[in-house]
Amino acid sequence: MRQPTLAVIGSAVTDIVVETPRLPGSGENIHVPRLAVMPGGKATNAAVTLVRLGAAVHLISNTGRDHWGEQLRQELAAAGIQTGLIGRHPSQPTGIVIMLAEASGQTAYIAHPAAGRSVSAADIRQRLTPLLPRLDGLLFNLEADEAALQTAADLAYAAGVPIFVDAGPVRPYAAGLWQHAAILSPNEPEAAALVGHNLADEAAVVAAAQALLAAGPPVVVLKLGARGAYWATPTAAGWAPAFPIQVIDPAGAGDAFTAGLVWASLTGQPLPQAVRWANACGAIVAGRFGTMPAMPQAEEVRQFLASHPA
């Protein structure tokens, strides 16, 4: 099997992950059992997962001209990501996200994306265009500027490169952004924001998927947490149940799911099997602490699926 080559567009930030028994109250000082500093951002998490599954990945993002940015580049390169298309913003610092992971499994975030959201349409034209003839796929989420993402989508579509869209975080972006996507994959709150109603029951999930299909993409996959995932095409649909795991830290699980879905799709897995593979990627991450170090290797996913037969 030939190694797929992808470009991933989104934020490259530094995650500061704090494991805490609970969130502190106003003015309260509590001691925590664990703290870790690691590369993060939705695009970074997905890129690392794709590399570990076996893809060649070029990450398109920006950092600042600071210590955090240089450390981030070094760690991403060490993880196997091609970092030549990560720019250095002249004035904005490298983005920082502080994640508070409670013992209950809930998480809270404090984010300063800064340079991580500064990629422009001009940056995309300069960095993505020479890469297009070598690409098997383009993955982006909604962390970047809408004009930059629309430019990327237009360039990839014109070049015949399959486009995969992770529709998060929630942004008021035009649906034309994923009109030509091969797969659109929002999570539950993102899908609810896109269609204007909650996904409280199965009928609402089905209606949401059909509404998103009407926007153009031939495949919609909804990430629904403990309910698993729901996939739909114009002619078929189905559920992929969640795996029974103990959730340690859900941060990054959705990004790993998306990367797993892209990988499985590009390597020829039928859609139901691809969604199950993606579910396994997300479950493995949710059962671990942290983001980048938690992303799975391909063999880990195979072993996980073998131990959880359908």
Residue 259 belongs to some domain of the structure: yes
Q: What is the rounded average pLDDT of the residues 186-200?
A: 94
Residue 197 belongs to some domain of the structure: yes
Q: What is the rounded average pLDDT of the residues 252-263?
A: 96
What's the domain range around 260?
5-298
What is the model's pLDDT at position 301? 96
Which one-letter DSSP state was computed for residue 187?
B
Residue 249 belongs to some domain of the structure: yes
Residue with tokens 């070029």: 58
Q: Name beta bridge partners: 107.
A: 101
Residue 114 belongs to some domain of the structure: yes
Q: Are strands 183-184 and 237-240 parallel, antiparallel or unpaired?
A: unpaired
Mean pLDDT of the chain: 94
What is the model's pLDDT at position 140? 97
- Residue 201 pLDDT grade (very low, low, confident, very high; cuts 50, 70, 90): very high
* CATH code of 49's domain: 3.40.1190.20
Number of domains in the chain: 1
Q: Strand (E) positions, 133-270?
A: 137-141, 163-166, 183-184, 220-223, 229-232, 237-240
pLDDT digits (tens, 9 = 90+) for 62-76: 999 999 999 999 999
In whole angstroms, what separates CA 253 from the centre of its chain?
A: 8
CA distance 253 to 280: 10
Residue 303 belongs to some domain of the structure: no
Tokens of 115: 């340079």
CA distance 168 to 177: 12
pLDDT digits (tens, 9 = 90+) for 134-180: 999 999 999 999 999 999 999 999 999 999 999 988 888 888 899 99
Residue 139 belongs to some domain of the structure: yes
CA nearest 21: which of 97, 96, 106, 98? Answer: 106
Q: Are 280 and 236 in contact (CB under 8 A)?
A: no
Residue 266 belongs to some domain of the structure: yes
- Residue 1 pLDDT grade (very low, low, confident, very high; cuts 50, 70, 90): low
The pTM score is 0.93
CA distance 30 to 42: 29
What is the model's pLDDT at position 303? 96
- Residue 249 pLDDT grade (very low, low, confident, very high; cuts 50, 70, 90): confident
- Residue 99 pLDDT grade (very low, low, confident, very high; cuts 50, 70, 90): confident
Residue 307 belongs to some domain of the structure: no
